[in-house]
Amino acid sequence: MGRTAELTKEVEYKLSYYYIEQFSHYVLPGAKRIAATCYTDKLETVSFVNPDGTLAVVLLNRTEQCMPVTLRVKGSLVACEIEASSMTTIVLN
């Protein structure tokens, strides 16, 4: 997850550290993974229902461009934009 430079005692975190931090902050213990589909191969998505009933949708944009996204949940639409080269989590009540 990370590496400590012996001489400087500085910690260097790998990208996977930040991915795990993102998931562990929004996907609560006991959450259930649910189906999610995406209209493009430029985004990766995974969704969870948390024990408190909230829906956590994690989106990964590996491109160098902002990506417009519209989430459709039970007939409702939520529009947003995912920053370039970013992981974004949207939590819905």
Question: Domain map of the chain by residue range?
Answer: 2-92
Interval 51-74 mean pLDDT = 96
Q: Residue 50 has what pLDDT?
A: 99
CA distances from 74 to 50, 63, 78, 93 (A): 16, 29, 11, 12
Residue type, 8: T
Say how far apart CA 85 and CA 93 lie, in whole Å. Answer: 26
Q: Hey, what are 19's tokens? A: 């991915």
Q: Which CATH class is domain 2-92?
A: mainly beta
Q: What global pTM score does this model have?
A: 0.84
* pLDDT(4) > 90: no
Say how far apart CA 38 and CA 59 lie, in whole Å. Answer: 10
